[in-house]
Chain A
Amino acid sequence: QVQLQESGPGLVRPSQTLSLTCNVSGGSISNADYYWSWIRQSAGEGLEWIGRMYITGRTNYNPSLKSRVTISIDTSKNQFSLKLSSVTAADTAVYYCARGLSGGWFGGNWFDPWGQGTLVTVSS
């Protein structure tokens, strides 16, 4: 079955850019049935959806993070990536990648499966 695994630095300096990659195994990231999302979890904010990408290149971002977020996809490596710029301590969280299943033309996604998550700490 499909498995997802996040990778990237565990420590990022304030004002720098957080960069994470999600490796997808057991299935193709080019499958048109799915979207690919990033979600984070912090003690203060709980679970927060960051954004998603579809195989066509279309992206949707959480409006509260939109100005700082970029999600991209590399079909040759079966991976997708997250970049979050100008980070502060408030961006400290466990970051998850997840596959999104479609709610049809109107709805968004529910998420299954999720990666194990990676803790990113923003600190000098």
Chain B
Amino acid sequence: QITLKESGPTLVKPTQTLTLTCTFSGFSLSTSGVGVGWIRQPPGKALEWLALIYWDDDKRYSPSLKSRLTITKDTSKNQVVLTMTNMDPVDTATYYCARGLPISFWFDPWGQGTLVTVSS
């Protein structure tokens, strides 16, 4: 059974840096082709892809947010970490991590998500 779970602060202040951790089980991030991605969803709005890291440490970022994002992995701990700098209230959203599958470029399964609120 493959599971992913997001963890991190539920409340951050404007201008602060957000650090989220995705802890997963049931698959290895050292398996060729596999990745872990981050996707967010503001309340009542659509899904937005943020970043993805592949088994070989190849990293991909959303062009619109690239300057603010960093994604890293710790294969031995089965964890992927996303940092987002200079947080703003518009970044208030549920943040999901998900396993990224090769060839077809899709996500499955997803973590339960974690709601991050940006407010002073």
A binds B: no
Chain A residues with a Cβ under 8 A of chain B: none
